[in-house]
Amino acid sequence: MKKEWNARALKNAYHYVSTFKKEWDDKSFYRWGEIQTQAVIDRFLKDQSYNPSDKTVLEIGCGAGRLTRALASRFKLVYGYDVSDQYIQIAKEKNNHLRNIIFKVNDGISFPEIDNDYIDFVFSGWTMQHMPTKEVVIKNIEEIARILKIGAIYKIDPRITTRSRIKEFSISKITKLFPFLVNDKLKSTQTFRGVTFSEKEIFDILSSYGLSVNTLIEEDGSESFYGKRVPKKWFYGKKIEKHACEAI
């Protein structure tokens, strides 16, 4: 994960975060982060009657910090973690005017600097879809359960599939719809394609770590930016009990 995401950061950092544009500038890239935050975080927190102004949030897979910057204007303190030290370097450089963000490089599965029961809100968007194995996703969920306070909330978007969807897509259709998977090697490896789960698998995993589980389908703000509606399924809930991993 680290090697390939470093390569993406060096080749075209913004594009590999949001691939619908080849060339981004700083203004449009971080504006896109603000639009996405309004769409999938502000509305969500409002529905939860949640005031973030005195809260601490941790973002999994912060990349160049496009969402992290927006989160910093809403939360008291933001932790942004990413497996790529190259992306973290960019995030720090582009957001060095903000004093309430702590950017950290990690191993892609843990947040060693964060104490148990410390974080008020964990968010991961457009990141778990790139995680290369189920074990990596599960390890991140285990860590979410460890670092959240009892009663604190999370929102994540692991990639969900069904048997019927798999049948709909032949190799030829995939190649036709997504030619970049063939033409760009950095988009064809498992650290970009990611791994899929059934909805039941995610329910069972989250529940096993003492997290309540709800789902919702939201549009990600794309229509206001480039004229398309992009609905996606999110999982959210609260930490309702301590898990055995915290007692160690």
| Span 91-97, average pLDDT | 98
How many Cα atoms occupy the beta-carbon half-sphere of 27 within 13 Å? 0
pTM recorded for the entire structure: 0.90
246 pLDDT more than 80: no
| Span 12-19, average pLDDT | 96
Q: What is the CATH number of the domain that holds 220?
A: 3.40.50.150
> How much of the chain, in percent, has pLDDT values that exceed 70?
89
- Tell me which DSSP letter residue 222 carries: T
Q: Is residue 119 in a domain? A: yes
Q: Is residue 216 in a domain? A: yes
Q: Is residue 177 in a domain? A: no
Task: Assess contact for 91 and 82: CB atoms under 8 A.
Answer: yes
Q: Is residue 207 in a domain? A: yes
243 pLDDT more than 80: no
Q: Is residue 34 in a domain? A: yes
Q: Is residue 173 in a domain? A: no
The boundaries of the domain holding residue 70 are 2-160+195-247
19 pLDDT more than 50: yes
Q: Is residue 137 in a domain? A: yes
Of 77 and 164, the structure prediction assigns the larger pLDDT to 77
Q: What is the pLDDT of residue 161?
A: 84
Q: Is residue 239 in a domain? A: yes
63: region left, alpha or beta (phi > 0 left; psi from -120 to 50 alpha): left
Non-local (6+) Cβ contacts of 245 within 8 A are 142, 145, 146, 209
Domain count of the fold of the chain: 1
Mean residue pLDDT of the chain comes to: 91
168 pLDDT more than 70: no
